[in-house]
Amino acid sequence: MADRVVSYLPAETIAARVAELGAAITKAGPSAQPIVVICVLKGSVIFFADLVRHINLPINLVFLGVASYGGATESSGAVRLTHDITIDIQGRDVLIVEDIVDTGLTMSYLLETLGSRHPRSIRVCTLLHKPARKRVDVPVDYIGFTIDDVFVVGYGLDFDELYRNLPFIGRMERA
C-alpha cells in the first residue's frame, strides 16, 4: 500500500492567507532601499512566488539553500548551507521567507549566519509554524498558519523531493 496525502489546508485558504501576509508586510512600511526578500530553497519557492506578488514595496529577490531533513520526516538537527545569497545585505532590511518553522534549528542558523553580515534588520515570514516540535526559540514576525504536529507536504513542502507541486497542503499518511 502506498503513502497517501489527505487535504489539510486547501489552496483557497492558503491563497487568502498569503494575500493577508503580503498586505501586512507592505503595511510595515518602506525601507530606505528595496527590502531584500530571501527565499529559503526549495520548500519556500511556491509560497515565496505567491507572497512577493502581494508585497507592494520595492524588493530585491534572492535565494538561499539549506538542508536539514534529507529523506526523513524529521529534522536531522544538522543544518548546512547549500546555496548562499548573491547580494550584500549589510545595512539592508531583510525578510527571510520560510516554508515551515518547527524545531527552530534552521531558522536559528539562518538568523545567526545572516546576522553576521550586519543587515539593518531581519524579519521572518513563515507559511507554517509547528510549535510542538520547537527545540530553539526564534523570532517569527509573520505566520501563515500554526499547525498541529503532523507531517505535511504540498505547496512547496516535500517528502523525499516529492509532492512539492500539490496546490494545497496535505497531511501525509504513511502506509
Helices marked H in 38-84:
45-52
Closest CA to 171 of 134, 128, 135, 140: 128
Residue 57 DSSP symbol = S
Indicate which residue of 88, 102, 149, 158 is catalytic. Answer: 102
Alpha-carbon 5 to chain mean position: 21
CB 145 within 8 A of CB 17: yes
Note if 102 is an active site residue: yes
Closest CA to 14 of 62, 40, 46: 46
Residues classed as catalytic: 102
